[in-house]
């Protein structure tokens, strides 16, 4: 697995580098001393796994994973165990507390390998079967403009149809593995191929103005190509 180390402490970087070199399954591509340096590297290189410190100046480890979409697997390496709950809320692969010992690191790498193998066999979601009025309706995701949360229901909006399904937006977001779809607000998932224009706090799809949350705007801007 192609990995990088991100830590502002030189001794921590060198210690983790020494441990990584003992694991045959790891190819260490880079050692970054800041979150900003790591962000730049991740935007230009294919990486499978990031060993990421949390407390760093300018851009913390938490800030990094909140600022980028489609991140590699993340293993936090930190001296601050109080961040564990928040870390796993972001579905990180593992959380290692310094000083890190080789057996614990090997276990984290094995978990990452297992997840990577599962991800590689999963195909991109191109369609869903929606339960509508007691029957299942096939919906091609290319036809979807956006998905809107309405309390305990979500609505799939296409150019000509509207499908209301009993579900949460989080459940739908978890089921859709498609790079064209992005959650831009707590109430909206959008098909990026259908976006007409984007302003500071909203976007337009068809004749619908959709809000963009502050937390998701940076993720959105990293996903799209701009000139």
Write out pLDDT tens, residues 163-176. 999 999 988 988 88
Band (226; pLDDT cuts 50, 70, 90): confident
- Give all domains of the chain, ordered by start, each with its CATH number: 2-121 (3.40.50.2300), 127-223 (2.40.50.1020)
The whole-angstrom separation of Cα 213 and Cα 210 is 10
Q: Is residue 223 over pLDDT 60?
A: yes
* Residue 196 · residue 225 · CB < 8 Å: no
23-43 pLDDT, tens digit each: 988 999 999 999 999 999 998
Q: Is residue 122 over pLDDT 60?
A: no
Band (92; pLDDT cuts 50, 70, 90): very high
Band (120; pLDDT cuts 50, 70, 90): low
Mean pLDDT of the chain: 92
Residue-level pLDDT at 26: 93
The whole-angstrom separation of Cα 185 and Cα 180 is 15
Residue-level pLDDT at 118: 64
């Amino acid at each position: 697995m192609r990995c990088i180390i991100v830590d502002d402490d030189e001794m921590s970087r060198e210690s983790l580098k020494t441990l990584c070199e003992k694991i045959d399954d790891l190819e260490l591509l880079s050692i970054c001393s800041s979150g900003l340096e790591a962000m730049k590297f991740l935007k230009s290189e294919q990486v499978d796994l990031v060993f990421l410190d949390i407390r760093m100046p300018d851009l913390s480890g938490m800030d990094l994973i909140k600022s980028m979409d489609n991140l590699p697997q993340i293993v936090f390496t930190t001296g601050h165990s109080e961040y564990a709950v928040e870390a796993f809320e972001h579905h990180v692969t593992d959380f290692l507390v310094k000083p890190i010992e080789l057996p614990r690191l090997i276990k984290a790498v094995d978990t990452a390998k297992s997840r990577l193998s599962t991800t590689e066999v999963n195909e991109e979601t191109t369609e869903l079967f929606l339960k509508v009025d007691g029957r299942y309706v096939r919906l091609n995701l290319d036809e979807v403009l956006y998905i809107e949360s309405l309390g305990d229901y979500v609505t799939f909006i296409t150019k000509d149809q509207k499908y209301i399904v009993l579900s949460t937006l989080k459940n739908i977001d978890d089921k859709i593995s498609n790079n064209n779809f992005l959650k831009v607000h707590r109430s909206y998932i959008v098909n990026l191929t259908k976006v007409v224009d984007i302003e500071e706090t909203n976007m337009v799809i068809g004749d619908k103005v959709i809000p963009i949350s502050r937390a998701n705007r940076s993720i959105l801007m990293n996903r799209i190509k701009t000139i």
